[in-house]
Amino acid sequence: MNRVDVAIVVPPRTLLLDVAGPAEAFRLADTHLADQGRPERFRLRFVGPQAQAPSSVGLQVAGLEALPTRFAAPTWLMVVGQPSAALGRPDAATLDTIDWLRRDVGPLLASGEDHRLIGVCTGALLLARAGLLGGRRCTTHHAFIEMLRRLAPAAQVVDNRVFVLDGALATSAGVTAGIDLALHLIALACGDALAARVAKDLVVYLRRTPNDPELSPLLAHRHHIHPALHRAQDAVCERPGNDWTLASLADAAHVTTRHLLRLFAEHAAVSPMTYVEKIRLERARQALSGGASVTRAAEHAGFASDLQLRRAWGRHLDGTPRAARP
């Protein structure tokens, strides 16, 4: 699997959290991959119209590479935001960035290769000024939704969303939503279990609105910071085929069975064995979508039989396991 160049585009007066939040998520993803003996997936680069850029809080961001004109595949270009004062009066360096987006990045987005263009927070406004959002679904910080609509009248601008994906284009709402988007992209590239570990490290709540992409069961029920409960959930995600019982889950968490029941009820809003069943269903669904037979998917996920898989499917999912195959 090719390593991804994640090039974070840093304009003048950049919002520092837009840079640091997603960058830290990608760094942690590589750390966990290395710990598992897997090759690192992301190569972080920081680029801009100038070698040094002031941030929104006054800290200087130095050592920036020049804006690239050639791209190794795959490349993810992440354009981060600026505060309102900078957005209303783009300076010369920002205008240079917009020209570069129009000239060099527009063809990249249309190339059909494994590239992505990502707008974090008000970074979407720079994409709009460059004419890259026409006909695309996108979003931005809630305070700048109407400005985005004016700048990109042909775009399908949606509000009340944490992030929006439209093919190779991805945009997020304000500031910390860039972390949510980075976690989603990590899940797509490296798997839900690894993204869950990164989210746990960052101590973030994986937010979704009713219209955002649904959380995978491997990421759901993780909106807490209780280490014992995370230990039990990690064990199930890593070894769904184990013969899990309440006692063995409690052993994995290093707590009593009574305490584990309380932890799941208070922090995960699901019972321990229902959680196990949901994780197994997700493993089975993934196997089925890859072409596995119902019997093979049941075995892969830890179900005792096809019948047990079908019954669990009926409790939690629509349709049938067979219909989930391509």
| Separation of alpha carbons 209 and 211, rounded Å | 5
Listed residue (259, 217, 255) closest to 236, CA to CA: 217
Check residue 89 and give its pLDDT: 84
Q: Where do we find the tokens 């695309």?
A: 136
123-182 confidence digits (pLDDT tens): 999 999 999 999 999 999 989 999 999 999 999 999 888 899 999 999 999 878 899 999
Contact 102, 121 (CB under 8 A): no
> With bands split at pLDDT 50, 70 and 90, how would you rate the model's confidence at 211?
low
Which of left, alpha, beta for 302 (phi over 0: left; psi -120 to 50: alpha)? left
> With bands split at pLDDT 50, 70 and 90, how would you rate the model's confidence at 214?
low
Kindly state the average pLDDT of the residues 83-98: 89
Q: What share of the chain has pLDDT > 90, as a percent?
A: 71
Check residue 326 and give its pLDDT: 79
> With bands split at pLDDT 50, 70 and 90, how would you rate the model's confidence at 208?
low
Kindly state the average pLDDT of the residues 60-82: 92
Catalytic residue numbers?
A: 121
300-316 confidence digits (pLDDT tens): 999 999 999 999 999 99
Q: Give the number of other Cβ atoms within 10 Å of residue 172's Cβ.
A: 32
The pTM score is: 0.77
Domain with CATH 1.10.10.60 in the chain: 227-324
Class for the domain spanning 227-324: mainly alpha
Helix (H, G, I), strand (E, B) or coil at 58: coil
| Fold of the CATH domain 4-202 | Rossmann fold (3.40.50)
Kindly state the average pLDDT of the residues 181-186: 93
**Identity of the amino acid at 14:** T
Instruction: Kindly report whether the peptide bond that precedes residue 74 is cis, defined as omega within 30 degrees of 0.
Output: yes
Check residue 107 and give its pLDDT: 86
215-245 confidence digits (pLDDT tens): 677 778 887 878 899 999 999 998 999 999 9
Helix (H, G, I), strand (E, B) or coil at 118: strand
Check residue 206 and give its pLDDT: 66
Judged against a pLDDT cut of 70, whether residue 197 lies above it is answered with: yes
Domain with CATH 3.40.50.880 in the chain: 4-202
- Helical (H) or strand (E) element with 137: strand 137-138
